[in-house]
A and B are shown apart, each in its own frame.
Chain A
């Protein structure tokens, strides 16, 4: 069974990927990469990652968030984060990546921020 499940939800021009489970080396990291690249290839460039149901993330998962952010930016898109767990917020603070990502606790505010 996959350690990460990803559900896609379209809200206007914004595509929300709802992640549930683990984003770790060898499993979830690759799934996340493929999901984001699939969106970009399909012309969906406003990407919101809902991370509220992430149970575990490691340095590989953090690296994949960075990589997804960079890839999206390089293709003229925007990637933002929604519903950071306490653990993820801690890790992004430690690694100073909170200064990079735009993050939201409210989904509607996050969606509106793309327009």
Chain B
């Protein structure tokens, strides 16, 4: 996990549009998608962007289930969508030890092109403006994705109101 500047890790997370807590099973992906899709359609006018960002969220949760929580159904994952400074922020928290973004390989390279795995993080990278990794104060792994919302489509328009309880997700160190 990359160490982030203190300003990144201590900043309070903005009021969430969605905050979900799910068990680490792939069946939960349908629930995540059903919750995220209306929000994304409210934020991004372009359907291709909606599809790409929805897939990025899906892949982030798959990564958390598979590599973070090792498909242990007794572990949990928290997913939060929020808006901050005109950006959509997606945060996925799992119980794993995190990973190093620097180890991400380009699946388009001739040496990796025909591999059956290794495209999830790449698709997240492609869809979003930035990816950061961090840890919560209790040691859980945090993946934060950020995507600028086009100015002609005002933040929050058509988005679902707060759905997941009063907390803003776990505090970061």
Residue of A nearest to B127 (CB): A94
Q: Tell me if B70 counts as interface (CB < 8 A to partner A).
A: no
Residue B120 CB within 8 A of the other chain: yes
Residues in chain B near residue A97, CB distance under 8 A = 113
Contact at A95–B122, with CB atoms within 8 Å? yes
State which of B29, B114, B123 has its C-beta within 8 Å of the C-beta of A91. Answer: B123
B40 to chain A, nearest CB (A): 14
Which residues does chain A contribute within 8 Å of B119, judged by CB atoms?
59, 62-63, 95
A13 CB-CB contact with B under 8 Å: no
Flag if A58 contacts B62 (CB, 8 Å): yes
**8 new A-B pairs (CB below 8 Å) besides A58-B58, A94-B126, A95-B108?**
A24-B26, A26-B27, A58-B55, A59-B62, A59-B122, A60-B120, A70-B116, A91-B123
Q: Does A100 contact B (CB under 8 A)?
A: yes
Interface residues on A, range: 20 to 34
Residue positions of B touching A, CB distance < 8 A: 26-27, 29, 48, 51-52, 55, 58-59, 62, 66, 107-108, 113-117, 119-120, 122-123, 126
When distances are taken between beta carbons in the complex, the residues of chain B under 8 Å from A94 are 123, 126
What is the CB-to-nearest-CB distance from B115 to chain A, in angstroms, rounded to a whole number? 7
Q: What is the bound-complex CA distance between A91 and B55, given in angstroms?
A: 10
Name the contact of A90 in the complex, choosing from B48, B115, B116, B117 (C-beta under 8 A).
Answer: B48
State whether A96 and B51 are in contact (beta carbons under 8 Å apart), knowing that A60-B62, A64-B116, A66-B114 are contacts in the complex. Answer: no
Chain B neighbourhood of A69, CB < 8 A: 114
Confirm or deny: A9 has a beta carbon within 8 angstroms of a beta carbon on chain B.
no
CB within 8 Å of B: which A26-68 residues = 26-27, 58-60, 62-64, 66-67
> Bound state CA distance, A59 and B26, in angstroms?
14
Q: How far is the CB of B99 from chain A (nearest CB, A)?
A: 15
Contacts A58-B58, A59-B59 hold; do A100 and B123 have CB atoms under 8 A apart? no
Q: Is the CB of A59 within 8 A of B120?
A: yes
